[in-house]
Amino acid sequence: MAANIFENRHVMARMRLYHSPGACSLAVHIALEEIGCEYEPAMLRVNQQENKRPEYLAVNPRGRVPALVIEDDKGERVLTEVLAILTYLAGQFPEKGLLPLEGEAFARSLEWMSWLGSAVHQTGARTIIRPSGFVDDEACQEKMREAGRLRVRASYEDMNARLAGRQWAVADQYSFVDSLLVVYYRWGLKVGMDVRNDFPEFTRVIDKALARPAVRRAIDQEGIAAEFGIEEGVT
Ligand SMILES: N[C@@H](CCC(=O)N[C@@H](CS)C(=O)NCC(=O)O)C(=O)O
């Protein structure tokens, strides 16, 4: 029989999540709150370059968040990349039903997460929020921002159309893909788009996600409730 992602399922002793407020790591933070398992949150601030400190580079030499430290009977290791961590957690806790793990619905989840992480994050939002990560020249950075704004708007139109009439992103049930969409919704607000009015289908799905206690806990813990226009601690 073909190998599957449940094969290495085992009892986890400890997990530690390195994350930064409102970064893509928020999706993993939400996922851990949804699962309701024990984990240790380790918050650092990317906007204060805490991810470049030697202590963190010893955990993740790429200097990016999220990083999930897993410690179990097989020892300690570090898993990075949002898509990989969310898929890993879903495989560890299949009974929670927080990510379809079979057939087309699984492929759809990967399709969403891969596209968000590449087209929308790295070649989209990142060119607006952190163009200095690509080029030093300030005139070039401004050109990158301009081009990025067009690309990001087009990707939000794409998301809005894909979510039209749907309960959730995949298979009409809440999944880690929706946790990840919460991150992108915030980034849309952060780069100055009128997301609420311009992308009503996206907003409808996110408003439902924001009503989930686990989503609110993660957002409150990161201190970013006001950025979504919601009050801390109120669900
Ligand atoms: N492909 C990575 C991207 C990780 C990433 O770029 N994270 C950002 C925060 S959203 C980061 O750590 N940025 C720090 C930096 O660029 O210095 C993933 O999916 O985890």
pLDDT tens digit string along 65-111? 999 999 998 899 999 999 999 999 999 999 999 999 999 999 999 99
φ and ψ at residue 98, rounded to 5 degrees: -100, 5
Residue 92 is predicted with a pLDDT of 94
Mean pLDDT estimate for the chain = 94
Given a cut of 80, whether residue 1 has pLDDT beyond it is no
Q: How far apart are the C-alpha atoms of 101 and 95, rounded to whole Å? A: 11
24 C-alpha to ligand 1 centroid (Å): 7
Determine the 3-state secondary structure of 41 from DSSP.
strand
Given a cut of 90, whether residue 174 has pLDDT beyond it is yes
User: Which domains does the chain show, CATH number per domain?
Assistant: 12-96 (3.40.30.10), 103-212 (1.20.1050.10)
Closest ligand 1 atom to residue 24 Cα is 10
65 C-alpha to ligand 1 centroid (Å): 5
Q: Which of 2-11, 52-61, 186-195 has the lowest mean pLDDT?
A: 2-11
Q: How far apart are the C-alpha atoms of 67 and 56, rounded to whole Å? A: 10
Can the peptide bond before residue 66 be classed as cis, meaning omega within 30 degrees of 0? yes
Closest ligand 1 atom to residue 80 Cα is 20
Cβ neighbours of residue 82 closer than 8 Å, sequence gap 6 or more: 24, 25, 27, 28, 66, 113, 117, 180
Closest by CA to 53, choosing from 45, 81, 78, is 45
Q: How far apart are the C-alpha atoms of 115 and 111, rounded to whole Å? A: 6
Which of 65, 130, 176, 187 has most ligand 1 atoms within 8 Å of CB, for mutation? Answer: 65
Strand 40-43 with 12-19, pairing: parallel
Nearest CA to ligand 1 atom 5: 64
Is ligand 1 within 6 A of the CB of residue 51? yes
106-35-26-166 Cα dihedral, nearest 10 degrees: 50
Is ligand 1 within 6 A of the CB of residue 133? yes
pLDDT tens digit string along 3-12? 455 555 656 6
Is ligand 1 within 6 A of the CB of residue 50? no
Closest ligand 1 atom to residue 52 Cα is 17
